[in-house]
């Protein structure tokens, strides 16, 4: 029980890495506020959970009012927040001349501004408590470039910069800030990206061919890394961009 009685906000908890992390955090004793824009996804994943320790909140992480509602809900119910896992994100594909301004702004809002909104809302509470842990989801593409991901990579490089900067700013407030850099992980988001190719079977083969281990990672493998970084075991770890990518960024 590495997270006994800890209160954790997990965004993007309706699917993939967020869903696996929310489930693991609860198994480790946490009470989780599971946040997602997609009510059906949240309902579906919570139907697989039997725990009363998960509270679903439908919210768009890029909207200030929604973020404030999530934080208020957590504080009203539990009176404190110990862990903020900023995980929700989208993957806009394409080279920069194929990305229009609307796609660019949307990716920046969901992948980066959301982290500003949540951190801005939660850090005063962490300071009041004298402790807190933030984990952000970046990507291995911010460590090693791949084709057709310019906008996405820009958002994830921003997440690494934000993580390091915040880690330094709040190190004496007993607030740790780290980020995950997952490689290619078998989640609904990856399945959608593969399905969008004219020949999905070939695309899947190509995606696997670029993996040094010859396979995708699983959401559960990323959740285990998330668990470590938010747990007291990682008490001396801050400001790190933690790659879990099967050797992709070597
Ligand atoms: N899957 C991968 O290969 C991979 C690799 C590196 C990084 N990542 C990152 O990991 C994170 C999770 O990815 P995943 O693969 O589990 O994705 P996913 O699409 O399977 O799940 C993401 C969840 O976030 C939710 N979401 C999207 N926009 C939202 C918004 N505005 N507000 C609230 N919720 C929103 C979606 O509804 C979905 O349930 C993302 O930040 C992604 O960029 C994924």
pLDDT digits (tens, 9 = 90+) for 71-80: 999 999 999 9
- Phi (first) and psi of residue 142, to 5 degrees: -80, -10
Question: Rounded to an integer, what distance in angstroms lies between the CA atom of residue 5 and that of residue 125?
Answer: 17
Place of tokens 């309902």: 43
Among protein residues, the one whose CA lies closest to atom 40 of ligand 1 = 89
Report how far Cα 186 is from the mean position of its chain's Cα atoms.
Answer: 15
Among protein residues, the one whose CA lies closest to atom 19 of ligand 1 = 189
What count of Cα atoms within 13 Å lies in the side-chain half-sphere of residue 191?
A: 7
Sequence ranges of the domains in the chain: 7-184+218-242
pLDDT for residue 23 is more than 90: yes
Sheet order of strands, 7-11 included? 54-58, 31-36, 7-11, 83-86, 132-137, 175-182, 241-244
Report how far Cα 237 is from the mean position of its chain's Cα atoms.
Answer: 18
Q: Pick the closest to residue 14 from 48, 50, 39, 49 (CA basis).
A: 39
**Through-space distance between the first and last CA atoms of the chain, rounded to whole angstroms:** 33
Measured CA to CA in angstroms, residue 190 lies from 3, 168, 212, 213, 216 at distances of 29, 33, 18, 17, 10
Catalytic residue of the set 116, 152, 170, 228:
152
- Phi (first) and psi of residue 78, to 5 degrees: -115, -15
CATH class for domain 7-184+218-242?
alpha beta
Among protein residues, the one whose CA lies closest to atom 2 of ligand 1 = 185
Determine the atom of ligand 1 nearest the C-alpha atom of 90: 43
User: Which has the higher per-residue pLDDT, 93 or 52?
Assistant: 93
Q: Is the CB of 41 within 6 Å of ligand 1?
A: yes
228 catalytic residue (yes or no): no
- In this prediction, residue 45 carries a pLDDT of 81
- In this prediction, residue 47 carries a pLDDT of 65
Residues 191-242 have pLDDT tens digits of: 999 999 999 999 999 999 999 999 999 999 999 999 999 999 999 999 999 9
Question: Rounded to an integer, what distance in angstroms lies between the CA atom of residue 193 and that of residue 195?
Answer: 6
* Angle, helix 39-47 to helix 16-27, in steps of 10 degrees: 40
């Amino acid at each position: 029980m590495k997270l006994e009685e800890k209160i954790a906000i997990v965004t993007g908890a309706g699917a993939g890495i967020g869903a696996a992390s929310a489930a693991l955090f609860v198994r480790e004793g946490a009470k989780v506020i599971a946040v997602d824009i997609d009510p059906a996804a949240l309902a579906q994943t919570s139907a697989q959970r039997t725990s009363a320790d998960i509270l679903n909140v439908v919210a768009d992480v890029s909207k200030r009012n929604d973020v404030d509602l999530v934080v208020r809900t957590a504080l009203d119910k539990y009176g404190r927040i110990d862990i903020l896992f900023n995980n929700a994100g989208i993957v806009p594909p394409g080279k920069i001349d194929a990305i229009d301004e609307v796609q660019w702004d949307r990716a920046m809002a969901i992948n980066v501004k959301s982290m500003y909104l949540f951190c801005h809302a939660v850090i005063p509470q962490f300071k009041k408590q004298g402790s807190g842990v933030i984990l952000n989801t970046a990507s291995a593409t911010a460590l090693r470039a791949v084709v057709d991901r310019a906008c996405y990579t820009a958002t994830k490089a921003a997440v690494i910069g934000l993580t390091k900067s915040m880690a330094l700013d709040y190190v004496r407030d007993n607030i740790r800030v780290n980020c995950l850099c997952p490689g290619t992980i078998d989640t609904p988001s990856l399945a959608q990206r593969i399905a969008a190719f004219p020949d999905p079977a070939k695309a899947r083969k190509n995606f696997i061919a670029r993996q040094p281990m010859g396979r995708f990672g699983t959401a559960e493998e990323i959740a285990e890394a998330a668990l470590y970084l938010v747990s007291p075991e990682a008490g001396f770890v801050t400001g790190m961009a933690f790659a879990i990518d099967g050797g992709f960024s070597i």
